[in-house]
Structure 1
Amino acid sequence: QPFTGLYADKHPRPYALSIGMCFTLTGLLVLAFAEYYWAILIAVSVVGFGSSVFHPTASRVTQLASGGKKSLAQSIFQVGGNGGSALGPLLAALIVLPYGQHSISWFAIAAMLAALIMVRLGAWYKAKLQYVVNHPQKTVGLNNNISKRAKYGALAILILLVFSKYFYTSCITSYFTFFLIDKFGVSVKASQLFLFVFLAAFAIGTVAGGMLGDKFGRKYVIWFSILGAAPFALAMPYVNLTWTIICCFLSGLIIASAFSSIVVYATDLMPDKVGMIAGIFFGLMFGLGGLGSAFFGWLADKTSIEYIFQVSSLLPLLGIIAGFLPNTQKTKNIVAKDTGKKG
């Protein structure tokens, strides 16, 4: 994703959105009829490549369409993915399990419709690019006094925060059902429904975080989101089933609010490299999620499912380092002072 994002910054391709969805469509069809393990790996790789083409350009389009409310626009864009992730376990339980592997091909209809819609959106993006070329835009409301060293330091902090966020969420999304079955003896179907609670909270928190980021400042939303989830994450491995679901919901709701603010904060640091920065953080989101799932699976084999939840609950405490992030947005006092000088 960073490489396709860098290419999108230098050579914008309005119809890359539709091309990305075509890769997803192809991957779903291959997955639906794959009979061998290597064919499954190829299928999911094709889906992943479609994602890498889609996300950096989609983030550029999102910021162009934001009307200045960049965090809200980014969160609305991301909630589509989060909503799909939330519905995934339900659709697997309701469609794939009873009707078999071939039923995955039914979801290709959604990918086909998305590819067609993206053609229309690509035409809008092409016109918008031409307008921006003829009418250069000035960055308004950004703090331009951040040194290059401070920018790279801030990016390093954001990477650590993304690590803590997605290692924690990968533990929940991959092993929460096993945790509930192992500790409380719930059925497989019930565990899928309880996982949906977390994923739905994640989708809701994504939109809420975007709204709060534009209103109160992205730095503070990032800080609250990661660190604020810590009390509920720490309590979850030690409480009864009812409180486990409540803590799961609240931790998902709070920790989800960070990512849109993280992406927009990072692009505010380097506004001329929106595609590359978005590609880096979307790549980290998927990559760290995969690594986290593999790591916790290995650790669970060595210890127990309950132990990995006790370990992962410490990760949100890393949110404390968000306090070292510089402010990328000008404060109202600074804007007022600048306005006074112009007067």
Structure 2
Amino acid sequence: MPVTETAARSVAVRTGTVYFILFAISAVHMLNDTMQAVVSALFPIFEESMGLSYAQVGWIAFTLNMTSSVMQPVVGLVSDKRPAPWMLPFGMALSMIGLAGLAFAPSFWLLLLSVVLIGLGSAIFHPEGSRVVYFAAGGRRGLAQSIYQVGGNFGQSLAPLMTIFIFVPLGQRGAAWGMLLAAAAIVVLLKVVPWYSGQLAAHGAPAKRRKPAGAEQLHAARKERRVVMFALMLLLVLVFCRSWYAAGMGNFYQFYVRDTYGLTISAAQLPLFLFMAAGVAGTFLGGILADRFGRKT
């Protein structure tokens, strides 16, 4: 019998925080976002070797972010109704195929197709990964979420280092090394998926929503729905604004400092790395502070 969300939460709290699973899914999050970071790390290589314009580089970034972000609610909607642990390794397999295409794509359009596969793999991973965090968090929601997010942010922060140590020496073919990241993620998920399946079987089946009985309850439910929708739209605007400047920094700042200050592409990665590393630190500290002082505060 499916249990309510409140009951599932109480079970999770009683069982405590499962740190092994938290760090495992955070590691997979790191590997997943590192695979996404391979795309932005290759921008200066693509610009030089394939003669891409800034507009074409922007289209690659747009394609990656649209497929990895816009598809996430679609996958989340489906997985809420029918959770599927097997989707986690499937998403990693899609990213692996995309990285192979990225390494050997001879044209701009094949680059875009490869990026679509990487984006879809990421979109599939995130909703199911968040549910794993939900079950493993116990009573430490802020810390659990920060551990999960730190993995992703750390993976993104590796892009400048990959440009320096892999893609400047090896060029576009260096993206093939990213396939090892996908393989490592699948290996880790072989430990996570059975545990996640057990949690779903025990107390994770989605509960059916009860229809309000009377007119007052119906009015209250509609009012609550409006408040929730307003809060979600406000959060969406905030995340959009934050992501706008973060994407601009991550994708184009390296070109700006190269052209403005005369730095080499390798040297231009250092300030970019500091920016991303500060995001990792802020995410981790934010989770600890949220548990200590409350998420609203």
TM-score band w.r.t. shorter chain? 0.5 to 0.7
Residue in structure 2 matched with residue 175 of structure 1 by the alignment = 252
Partners of 1:21 and 1:50 within 8 A in 2: yes
Residues matched between the structures, number: 212
Q: 1:42 aligns with which of 113, 129, 134?
A: 113
Q: 2:274 aligns with which of 189, 197, 222?
A: 197
Residue in structure 2 matched with residue 92 of structure 1 by the alignment = 163
- Output the TM-score relative to the length of structure 2: 0.67
Partners of 1:17 and 1:119 within 8 A in 2: no
Residue in structure 1 matched with residue 95 of structure 2 by the alignment = 24
Residue in structure 1 matched with residue 296 of structure 2 by the alignment = 219
Residue in structure 1 matched with residue 122 of structure 2 by the alignment = 51
Partners of 1:78 and 1:206 within 8 A in 2: yes
Residue in structure 1 matched with residue 65 of structure 2 by the alignment = none
Structure 1 residue 110: Cα displacement = 1.6
Unaligned runs of 5+ in 2: 1-71, 208-219
Partners of 1:8 and 1:57 within 8 A in 2: yes
Q: 2:173 aligns with which of 63, 87, 102?
A: 102
Partners of 1:15 and 1:122 within 8 A in 2: yes
Once structures 1 and 2 are overlaid, which stretch shifts more, 204-213 or 144-153? 144-153
Q: Does 1:78 align with 2:149?
A: yes
What amino acid sits opposite 2:251 in the alignment?
A: S
The runs of at least 4 aligned residues of structure 1 exceeding 4 Å deviation read none
Residue in structure 2 matched with residue 270 of structure 1 by the alignment = none
What's the secondary structure of 1:81's corresponding residue? Answer: helix
What amino acid sits opposite 2:189 in the alignment?
A: M
Residue in structure 1 matched with residue 196 of structure 2 by the alignment = 125
% same residue: 40
Unaligned runs of 5+ in 1: 137-143, 221-343
Residue in structure 2 matched with residue 154 of structure 1 by the alignment = 231
What's the secondary structure of 2:93's corresponding residue? Answer: helix
The C-alpha deviation readout for 1:143-192, integer Å capped at 9, x for no partner, is: x9982222111111111111221112122212322333344433332211
What's the secondary structure of 1:186's corresponding residue? Answer: coil
> Matched residues in 2 for 1:210 and 1:219: separation?
12
What amino acid sits opposite 2:102 in the alignment?
A: L
What's the secondary structure of 2:132's corresponding residue? Answer: helix
What's the secondary structure of 1:67's corresponding residue? Answer: coil
Residue in structure 2 matched with residue 272 of structure 1 by the alignment = none
Change (3 A) 1:21 1:95: same
What amino acid sits opposite 1:189 in the alignment?
A: S
Residue in structure 1 matched with residue 51 of structure 2 by the alignment = none
Give RMSD over aligned pairs: 2.0
The C-alpha deviation readout for 1:246-272, integer Å capped at 9, x for no partner, is: xxxxxxxxxxxxxxxxxxxxxxxxxxx
What's the secondary structure of 1:115's corresponding residue? Answer: helix
Once structures 1 and 2 are overlaid, which stretch shifts more, 40-49 or 178-187? 178-187
Residues 56-75 of structure 1 mapped to structure 2, 5 A cutoff = 56-75=127-146
Residue in structure 2 matched with residue 8 of structure 1 by the alignment = 79
Change (3 A) 1:107 1:149: same
Structure 1 residue 21: Cα displacement = 0.8
> Matched residues in 1 for 2:112 and 2:197: separation?
34
The C-alpha deviation readout for 1:282-302, integer Å capped at 9, x for no partner, is: xxxxxxxxxxxxxxxxxxxxx
> Matched residues in 2 for 1:38 and 1:188: separation?
25
> Matched residues in 1 for 2:255 and 2:181: separation?
30
- Output the TM-score relative to the length of structure 1: 0.58
> Matched residues in 2 for 1:89 and 1:8: separation?
34
Residue in structure 2 matched with residue 325 of structure 1 by the alignment = none
